[in-house]
Amino acid sequence: MSDDDQFADGETEAQLDHGAAAIIDIVDRLEELVGMGKRVPFSSRVMVEESEFLGLVDLLRTTVPNEIQLARRVIKEREKIIGDAHSEAGRILKTARDRAEFAVSEQGVLLEVRQQSEEILRQTDERRQRSIGMVDVYALNQFEKVEEAMRDCLRLIDGAFRDAIDSLEQARGSLTDRQR
C-alpha cells in the first residue's frame, strides 16, 4: 500500500504510521522522564515529576485505544480484502474448472466420434473389398463360361467349316468325274 491508499473508514496508512509513532514517542518520553528522575537512595526506585508522568499516562490512555481501534479496523479491512481475494480466486478457479471440463468433454466427444467414424470407414472399406472380390470372382466365372461357350462355338464353326469344305471337295470331285 502507498501513503495515499485509504482503508474503508477513510484512514490512510500514513495516519496509521503517525499513530504508532505517537505511542512510541510517548513511551520514549516516559523513559526519558524516568531517566531524568531522582534516584531514591539504597533502592532501585526513581522519583519523577507526578504531573508530567500522569500527563503522559493520560496521553497514552487516549492514544492507545484509538490506535487499537484503528488497528482493528485495519485488520478487519485487510481480512475483508483477503476474503474478497479468496472469493474472487474461488470464482476464477470455478470458471477455469468449468471451462476445462467443457473443453475436456468436448474433446472427449470429438475423439469418440472420430474413433467411431474411423471404425465405420474401416468396416465399409472391408465390405467394399469383399464385394469387389466377390464381383471379381463372379465376373471371372462368367468370363470362363463365355470363353468355354466361345470355344464350343469355334469348334462347331470349325467342324461346320470342315464339313462344308469336305462337301465342296466331294461336289467338285463328283463334277470332275462327271465331266470326264
Residues of the domain holding 24 = 13-179
This prediction has a pTM of: 0.39
In the three-class reduction of DSSP (H, G, I as helix; E, B as strand; rest coil), residue 48 is classed as coil
pLDDT digits (tens, 9 = 90+) for 102-156: 777 777 788 888 889 999 999 988 888 888 888 888 888 888 888 888 888 888 8
CA 61/CA 44 separation, integer angstroms: 26
pLDDT digits (tens, 9 = 90+) for 43-93: 888 888 889 988 988 888 888 887 788 888 889 999 999 999 999 999 999
| Number of domains, the chain | 1
Higher model confidence: residue 25 or residue 15? 25
- Has residue 131 been placed in a domain? yes
pLDDT of residue 4: 45
- Has residue 2 been placed in a domain? no
- Has residue 7 been placed in a domain? no
Place of cell 470362363: 144
- Has residue 71 been placed in a domain? yes
pLDDT of residue 7: 46
- Has residue 1 been placed in a domain? no
pLDDT over 70 (residue 8): no
Distances (CA, A) of 64 to 10, 32, 39, 100, 176: 19, 19, 29, 52, 161
Per-residue exposure over 41-60, b if at least 16 CB sit within 10 Å of its own CB, e if not: eeeeeeebeeeeeeebeebb
In the three-class reduction of DSSP (H, G, I as helix; E, B as strand; rest coil), residue 39 is classed as strand
- Has residue 138 been placed in a domain? yes
